[in-house]
Chains A and B, each alone.
Chain A
Amino acid sequence: MNRVAITGIGVVSPVGSDLEAYWGALVEGRSGIGPLTLTPTERLKVRIAAEVKNHVPEQNFNARALPLLDRFAQFAVIAARYAIADSGLTFDEKLAQATATIVGTGVGGQHTLDDGYNRLYGQNAVRLHPFTIPRLMVNAGASQISMDLGLRGPAFAVASACASGTHAIGLAFDMIRSGRAAVALAGGAESCLTVGTLKGWEALRVLSADTCRPFSRNRSGLVLGEGAAILVLESLDRASSRDARVYAEVRGFGMSADAGDIIAPNAEGSARAMRAALDDAQIAEDAIDYINAHGSGTMLNDSTETQAIRAVFGSHADRLAISSSKAVLGHGLGAAGALEAAATALAIHRHVMPPTANFEEPDSACDLDVVPNIARDQRIRCAISNSFAFGGLNAVLALGEL
């Protein structure tokens, strides 16, 4: 059994694609939520989102590669390049064949799908672009990363809606721990701010009209986001032997299914995933100093998550701190868990708890220390990162300092 280290992080996010910009926004609580600009809004009620800004595809991909890349896959590849550069890893043929690529995504190439349907049904087009299928397939992110970086080991996509990125990292952790892979690039990518997808979300009536205020009494729903995060995982032995910087150790991973409501969260199911992560990591409840919450900003999620944390941690729940990154990042869906795992690893490495931004009013149903608005300098021995997805699919990563 190998110990597993996080040695590289790459992000493409609504608050920047440079790791320092990303961390700076999280710590200062600067939100990436703003007016929706990626798609025409005249037929939409929703007018806000956390969009990735200043993304110029041509700066990152040549004219031959670009027609094959939906926006979500572009984000995946860029984040993977940053992560590898950040890790300092170089690949010979042997290592390339022993490197896994696992990318979570909720829905895959929605821009391609939306544009294709618009052409077909809206404009009565006779044909679609020949790359429509390879662009939209859910595994396009994983495939494009493997091709771009020449990684020839196990590669696949993971789909569990809002927990996809977390499940992907958890599977990669298992593969490094067991020795099935020597290195893994794992995370999530999503970009689905299209008219079709947004209409679907509107119909669920869970979107906020103004902003995302996790754990605030006056929270008004979630705000959709987009982006990608890829982490580099490798055995601690390998990391040590090459003197790599280790952000954090992945200590454990827990999963569960609610087997209940398709949409509404369930405290018992969430709690089981948290307990499973702690058991897997063999760490006691009172060693957890920080929780990066799912914290979507819906009425139901934030109160249910609070109950679940109380159920797992008992009296220690009042001694640990939790915060949600979604006020800053929006809800990146398949990318969210990976963006948040990155935030959790950085929090451990830098001894800082990022705040819950946009916090306005305490809610008795969310009565934990949510680190309102102001970051806190504090050592974090161990932390968990929670993801609770539509479909009742829960995934929790336990990370620790070295």
Chain B
Amino acid sequence: MADVSDEVRKIISKHSPLGHVALTPETRLDEINIESLDLVEIVFEIEERFKIQVPFNANTESRLEFATVGQIVEGVRSILANSATS
């Protein structure tokens, strides 16, 4: 499988109105003008791409765990690792 980080960054950058921007793990989604509905779409595309379920609700603390590019990449890695071992 292609690198998770590359794939996730590709999905995220597609949704930034700033166009192609350099994304580091520390890049905050709000810095690149990604709004709440964009994030919902990003999570959807990640779920489709990796065939996983991401527990994300725009109204709970989970939204705070999706503030940076690195957090999302780590979240996806951890879900993939859990589904590989289960």
- A residues near B (Cβ < 8 Å) are 203-209, 219-221, 261-264, 297-300
Contact = CB atoms under 8 A, between A and B. Distances in A.
Interface in B30-73: 35-37, 40, 43-44, 56-60, 63
A299 B59 CA distance: 5
B57 A209 contact: yes
A182 to B, nearest CB: 44
Interface residues of B, number: 12
B37 A221 contact: no
A205 B35 contact: no
B43 to A, nearest CB: 7
B60 A261 contact: no
A208 B58 CA distance: 10
| From A205, A209, A297, residue with most partner B Cβ within 10 Å | A205
A263 B60 contact: no
14 contacts: A203-B40, A205-B43, A205-B57, A205-B59, A206-B57, A206-B59, A219-B59, A220-B57, A221-B60, A261-B35, A261-B37, A262-B37, A298-B58, A300-B58
A220 B44 contact: no
A221 B44 CA distance: 18
Contacts of A203: 40, 44
Closest 8 CB pairs of A and B: A221-B59, A299-B59, A263-B37, A205-B58, A220-B59, A205-B57, A205-B40, A298-B59
B57 A221 contact: yes
Contacts of B60: 220-221
| From B36, B44, B56, B57, residue with most partner A Cβ within 10 Å | B57
A261 B33 CA distance: 13
A73 to B, nearest CB: 32
A206 B58 contact: yes
Contacts of A219: 59
Contact of A300 (B36, B40, B44, B57): B36
A125 to B, nearest CB: 29
A207 B55 CA distance: 12
Contact of A263 (B36, B57, B63): B36
B37 A299 contact: no
Given A204-B58, A261-B37, A300-B36, 8 more contacts: A203-B44, A205-B40, A205-B59, A207-B57, A263-B37, A264-B36, A298-B59, A299-B63
B37 A208 contact: no
B19 to A, nearest CB: 20
A205 B60 CA distance: 10
A187 to B, nearest CB: 28
Interface string B4-46: 0000000000000000000000000000000111001001100
Contacts of A205: 40, 43, 56-59
| From B35, B37, B58, B59, residue with most partner A Cβ within 10 Å | B59
A220 B43 CA distance: 18
A264 B59 contact: no
A263 B60 CA distance: 17
Contacts of A261: 35, 37
Contacts of B40: 203-205
Nearest to B54: A205
Contacts of B43: 205
A221 B62 CA distance: 12
| From B37, B58, B63, residue with most partner A Cβ within 10 Å | B58
Contacts of A297: 59
Nearest to A45: B53
Contacts of B37: 261-264
Contacts of A209: 57
